[in-house]
A and B are shown apart, each in its own frame.
Chain A
């Protein structure tokens, strides 16, 4: 299993976190695509160019292969200050 954590508006759509079974060689892009099937609002919002992803606390591209026990963070466009 990998843990996926949703922040900001994504947590409203998907809940804060969940554990997801990871197949051999599955890429982050596929994982996000599968999650998008659950919620149309998330599916739309996650496509925004300023959305970022982190794997094990480092920003990571969608091509990243997700492994067992990885922690994936799904990060909406940052909006501090």
Chain B
């Protein structure tokens, strides 16, 4: 399942809802990405742009790829769009499986996908101005581990 949210996301509630009724799961792995202050940059917020007609289908494809590659019982990706304040969650990914390894790896895979292959664009809003953030070489290297 995918959710794009223009308002702050409640990680506790998302996790509780995800974990509810998973009688066959022996493991849940989850990841929360946060907007960080980033020291000298003094980030105040991020602005997340997305392409409405492209973003959800791209994530759906990644979730289907994950389900085909690992024996997942359930997978969820929640991503903020719009302005996200420092300290707020920007992304939540959760995966459930019978055993932990599949859940860990699928969660890792989905996050790598979201960093470089999902149509999102991040603008860093600092006290000194605004700047669009480019993906780093490490982000591409992380994604390429799964190829």
Listed in ascending order, the chain A residues whose CB lies under 8 Å from chain B are 5, 7-9, 11-12, 50, 54, 57, 73, 75-81
Contacts and interface: CB of A to CB of B under 8 A. Distances in A.
Interface residues of B, number: 26
B33 interface: yes
Contacts of B51: 5, 7, 54, 73, 75
Contact of A7 (B49, B114, B115): B49
A79 B54 contact: no
Given A7-B51, A80-B48, A80-B116, 18 more contacts: A8-B121, A8-B123, A9-B121, A9-B123, A9-B132, A11-B49, A76-B121, A77-B135, A78-B116, A78-B118, A78-B119, A78-B121, A79-B120, A79-B121, A79-B135, A81-B33, A81-B91, A81-B111
Nearest to B90: A81
Nearest to B93: A81
Q: Which 4 A-B pairs have the closest CB atoms?
A: A8-B121, A80-B120, A9-B132, A81-B114
